[in-house]
Amino acid sequence: MYLKQIYKNLTADKMTGQKRFVVLLDPDKMRLSKMDQVLKASVDAGVDYFFIGGSLIVSDMLDNILITIREATNIPTILFPGNSYQLSYKADAILFLSLISGRNSELLIGNHVLAAPYLKMSPLEILPTGYLLIDGGVRTTVSYISNTQPIPPDKPDIAACTAMAGEMLGMKLMYLDAGSGARHPVSPEIISAVTNITDVPLIVGGGIRNPEAARQAAEAGANIIVVGNAIEKDPGLISDISFAVHTSRTQPIS
Ligand code: 1GP
């Protein structure tokens, strides 16, 4: 009942092997002066979705950014909230994230209880998402704020079992995140371990800085590739990363 067109499209894309490219906009980091450039480049490059969020939104820019995107593009906007204050009816959908790699009950279910009545009344499409933090070589804001340990990068079995449990609990998407600004993106071994054992569409992000890294993640089995930091620094990367993602197909890992 809460899953609508966006989820239908994501599952259809997984079936056909079509990879999707997401630009993550963090309202705290994105200067409005740069927004025009990012939005224009995203339209020109065929970006599929915007994720809007960050671990710590300290500005009141959330609604403004959503309005600006809606005026300039038809690209769907999906909230990627770092906490239950980062909600807005002006987006198209929300990743309803449960941090299943951690053992912080507030981020597993507590915040969701508080947000549920607001979401029930909202027009947002709700995308129940198992969120797994993978160690990317630096202590990230999300790891500090969530007070959880990321999954070690050399433990694909832990990631696979965690994602399996999330899928069995009914989560409709999995998100493997090395955290914004990670030194190392999520490895192909972890991506392929998760994608081989689960059927739901797989989102991968954190520390992807160039087309090669995006292609590597997509070929390992990610269905949706998210890039934030690198694009905030250089919006010129959008077209090359978009091309790399859209021309990738999952390759078997030898
Ligand atoms: C972080 O997956 C996103 O949650 C994107 O990370 O900013 O490092 O691209 P980057």
The CA 106 to ligand 1 mean position distance, Å, reads 22
Hunting for tokens 């906009």 — which residue is that? 25
SS (H, E, C) the chain: CCCCHHHHHHHHHHHHCCCEEEEEECCCCCCHHHHHHHHHHHHHHCCCEEEECCCCCCCCCHHHHHHHHHHHCCCCEEECCCCCCCCCCCCCEEEEEEECCCCCHHHHHHHHHHHHHHHHHCCCEEEEEEEEEECCCCCCHHHHHHCCCCECCCCHHHHHHHHHHHHHCCCCEEEEECCCCCCCCCCHHHHHHHHHHCCCCEEEECCCCCHHHHHHHHHHCCCEEEECHHHHHCCCHHHHHHHHHHCCCCCCCC
The CA 139 to ligand 1 mean position distance, Å, reads 13
Quote the tokens at residue 94: 């929300």
Q: Which mutation among 208, 210, 224 tests ligand 1's pocket best, with the greatest number of atoms within 8 A of CB?
A: 208
- The per-residue pLDDT for 145 is 87
Residue 238 domain-assigned (yes or no): yes
Residue 162 domain-assigned (yes or no): yes
Residue 66 domain-assigned (yes or no): yes
Domain of 109 in residue numbering reads as 5-242
The low-confidence residues of the chain, meaning pLDDT below 50, are none
- The per-residue pLDDT for 142 is 84
Q: Is the CB of 181 under 6 A from ligand 1?
A: yes
Domain of 142, CATH number, reads 3.20.20.390
Between the alpha carbon of residue 54 and those of residues 30, 78, 117, 137, 181, the distances in Å are: 11, 12, 22, 19, 12
Q: Which mutation among 20, 22, 23, 24 tests ligand 1's pocket best, with the greatest number of atoms within 8 A of CB?
A: 24
On whether the pTM is more than 0.95, the answer is yes
Closest atom, ligand 1, to C-alpha of 51 = 3
Residue 75 domain-assigned (yes or no): yes
Residue 45 domain-assigned (yes or no): yes
Residue 252 domain-assigned (yes or no): no
Query: In whole angstroms, what is the distance from residue 83 CA to residue 86 CA?
Result: 6
Residue 197 domain-assigned (yes or no): yes
Q: Is the CB of 219 under 6 A from ligand 1?
A: no
Phi-psi group of 170: left, alpha or beta (phi > 0 → left; psi -120 to 50 → alpha; rest → beta) = left
Residue 251 domain-assigned (yes or no): no
Q: How many structural domains comprise the chain?
A: 1
Q: Is the CB of 207 under 6 A from ligand 1?
A: yes
The CA 136 to ligand 1 mean position distance, Å, reads 11
The CA 205 to ligand 1 mean position distance, Å, reads 5
Closest atom, ligand 1, to C-alpha of 208 = 9
